[in-house]
Structure 1
Amino acid sequence: ACVNHLPAGRTAQEDVIFMGHGAEHEAVARYADLADAVYGLDARVHVGAMNGAVLLEDILPRLSSERVWLMPLLSVVGNHALKDMAGQDSQSWRSRVESQGRQCVPVLKGTAEYAGFAEIWLRHLEDAAQSCFESV
């Protein structure tokens, strides 16, 4: 779903960074798994998280394009996407990418707005519901 919903204006030579929330428990390892899987499909697409797993500091040295796209790996565009990702504060991901002399293009669209992500969530919901009915 990540590589199927990249920005239409992005060229194949441009880096894209997905920013997720992260976690403080063992499920955070799924971000690293997702990052590896996505990187295997497109080496210029990176997955990071604000907490734990793959951080922006891990991604910055791997960027090679002058223009970098930032996309939330969050279901909706809220405070994290607006401030932590795309904000003007010096600690935002946008500011940190731009401090390297790169142009940054934030995409303010949550994953719930993409059909590919919605299909995955619906499939998981169906599987969970089916599992509940089978155990009755």
Structure 2
Amino acid sequence: MTKNNLPDNNFDICGNGKKGILMVHFGTVKSEVRKNTLGFLNKNIAEKFQDFHIREAYTSRMIIKRIYTKYEVRKSTPKEALRMMAQEGFTHVIVQASHVINGLEGEYLKDEIRYFKDEFQDIRVGDPLLTLPEDYIQIADIFKEEFESIGGAVVLAGHGTRHHSNSAYGMLQTVFNIKDMEEFYIGTVEGYPALEHLIPQLKKNKVKKVTLVPFMIVAGNHATEDINGEWREILEKEGFSVEVVMRGMGEMPEIHEIFAGHIKRAMDSKEEKLKDKKNKILKSI
């Protein structure tokens, strides 16, 4: 067993191989928030996988530009980071994004990674936060432990998307319901359900107090402007007492454990292409 009870992996290294984990984030401009969320996550992953070199990349080009303009610090895109890792002699790479759902950002990231499939002996991709059923159950347990005792309703505010992956939020609500977490609700800023869909449910359930919690890795502009701003104002006008927890999930070590588990899973199970799998079935007949 390795440190923190993470089992040995079968991410095979032969000869002078060099292993790396590329942590990929959407990003945030605020330096203190970066340190307390993305930096904290990177640090914990480095501690859990000490035989791997840790690298970082941002997917948001706008954030990369704003960070450079404000701090003269140039963050790498995933392509740039992988190109640099290839030049540095990395042979085995895990790409782990801190995305919450399997959405457009994840699809674009996989497209970028395909450019480098021949640059490394082995390159694999870890899953976003909400992927397998056990991820949803673990998330529900984390939030129940953290917020169950505060009283009133806990409304988690996700980013949301028009992509079909938005259904992940509905699945998480289903898990809340199955686990009798009636005081937990999830809404989205740019998807479904929106706040307007939650308010009738809150009133129907005679909720008086609402605690808003960003269901985002980083409590950045959306948390400040949409959750602590617009959502708070709307709920207060509707007669609710409102508190806001300005903390992203990237500040929660329990969330880091889920990402670490996804990295471990990527090491232990090499993805088999569906086309090859289908072809193998018919070879025997």
So what's the TM-score if we normalise by structure 1? 0.84
Are 2:198 and 1:59 equivalent residues in the alignment? Answer: yes
Residues 49-93 of structure 1: CA distance to partner in whole angstroms, max 9, x if unpaired?
Answer: 112232111211121222110000001110000110001xxxx11
Q: Which has the higher contact order (CA 8 A, sep 6+)?
A: 1
Q: Give the corresponding residue for 1:107.
A: 245
Counterparts of 2:159 and 2:175, CA distance in 1: 18
* Conservation of the 8 A alpha-carbon contact between 1:16 and 1:68: yes
Q: Give the corresponding residue for 1:32.
A: 170
Aligned CA-pair RMSD? 1.8
Counterparts of 1:95 and 1:129, CA distance in 2: 46
Q: Give the corresponding residue for 1:77.
A: 219
Q: Structure 1 vs Structure 2: percent identity of aligned residues?
A: 28
* Conservation of the 8 A alpha-carbon contact between 2:159 and 2:191: no
Which residues of 2 match residues 1-136 of structure 1 at below 5 A? 1-6=142-147, 10-11=150-151, 14-41=152-179, 42-63=181-202, 64-87=206-229, 92-132=230-270
Aligned residues: 127
Report the structure number with the largest CA radius of gyration: 2
* Conservation of the 8 A alpha-carbon contact between 1:17 and 1:69: yes
Counterparts of 2:255 and 2:227, CA distance in 1: 20
* Conservation of the 8 A alpha-carbon contact between 1:4 and 1:116: no
Q: Displacement, 1:7?
A: 7.0
SS at match of 1:22: coil
Counterparts of 1:115 and 1:81, CA distance in 2: 20
Q: Which runs of 5+ in 1 are unaligned?
A: none
CA separation of 1:71 and 1:7: change in aligned 2, threshold 3 A: farther
Q: Which runs of 5+ in 2 are unaligned?
A: 1-141, 273-285
Residues 5-47 of structure 1: CA distance to partner in whole angstroms, max 9, x if unpaired?
Answer: 2176x12xx0110000011211111111011112333101101
Counterparts of 1:56 and 1:117, CA distance in 2: 25
Counterparts of 2:171 and 2:246, CA distance in 1: 24
Counterparts of 1:112 and 1:39, CA distance in 2: 25
* Conservation of the 8 A alpha-carbon contact between 1:35 and 1:48: no
So what's the TM-score if we normalise by structure 2? 0.42
